[in-house]
Amino acid sequence: MGRLENKVAVVTGGAGGIGKAVGRRFAEEGADVLLVDLDEQALAAAVREIGSNKVSYLVADVTSMADNQAMIATATERYGGVDTFVANAGIEGDVASILDYDEARFDQVMAVNVKGPFLGLKAALPALAQRGGGSVIITSSIAGVQGAPGVAPYVTSKHAVIGLMKSAAKEAAAQGIRVNTVNPSPVETRMMRSLEAGMDPANAGEVKARLEAAIPMGRYAQPQDIANIMLFLASDESEFITGSVYMADGGNTA
């Protein structure tokens, strides 16, 4: 049997690099998986690429309480309940100084990156409790434990979800629900291409080289590197782990 046999997972940001890798890895280990994102074409393509009848999708907006409730209701209707909720949806925002940063863009970053996981917890925790417990995994970042110039709203949001996680871990522990964050360094995804270009549009490749040089292991993470950590946190192997910050950064913050 797989490590997630008979389990059901909801993964937001499911059409992105990390979300798709998590969906594939969880399905390989026996889980039924609902991928959630805003872009239906990208979601459909992700499901086709994974190629498993254990994976389906739902178009939804993580900043909407009704949509978060719909995620949980849909997973329950299709698969019988929810055991794992992966709050992975996130946006990078712009690269700009605090003085130049657009207020509406700040609000958007906070809405997706902080309000999204908060509403996801509100929707998911009762469903996990009905199953006798489960796992919530929130995607933070190395930006959740250190600062970085030019991306203050993103850094703020990724610090914030660690506080959210720690509070939720203490609130939900008595119901057998574990809540943790995974904090990646740069990952080979669209988001990093956007950030590299934002930092230096004419020399994005040089930006990547500099960022990789700061990682002791000498490379960006691959999406499957992050998925493997989330698999552990979703499995019964992590049944005594909650309130923890899992750095997945190749030694970047060591």
Q: Which of 219, 156, 154, 159 is nearest to 191 (CA)?
A: 154
What pLDDT shows up at residue 209?
87
Q: Looking at the chain, how many residues does it have?
A: 254
Q: Tens digit of pLDDT for each residue in 69-94? A: 999 999 999 999 999 999 999 999 99
Which residues form the domain of 32?
8-184+222-241
What pLDDT shows up at residue 206?
85
What pLDDT shows up at residue 216?
93
Q: Does residue 226 share a domain with residue 216?
A: no
What pLDDT shows up at residue 196?
81
Q: Does residue 120 share a domain with residue 21?
A: yes
| Catalytic pick among 101, 154, 220, 246 | 154
CA 65, CA 47: separation in Å to the nearest integer?
25
**57 catalytic residue (yes or no):** no
Given a contact cutoff of 8 angstroms between Cβ atoms, the answer to whether 58 and 71 are in contact is yes
CA 21, CA 29: separation in Å to the nearest integer?
12
Q: Does residue 213 share a domain with residue 87?
A: no
CATH code of the domain containing 131 = 3.40.50.720
Q: Is residue 70 part of a domain?
A: yes
pTM surpassing 0.75? yes
Provide Rg for the chain, Cα atoms: 17
What pLDDT shows up at residue 202?
83
Total structural domains within the chain:
2
Per-10-residue mean pLDDT for the chain, 254 residues long? 94 96 98 98 97 98 98 98 98 95 98 98 98 98 95 97 98 98 89 80 83 89 95 98 97 94
Q: Does residue 200 share a domain with residue 80?
A: no
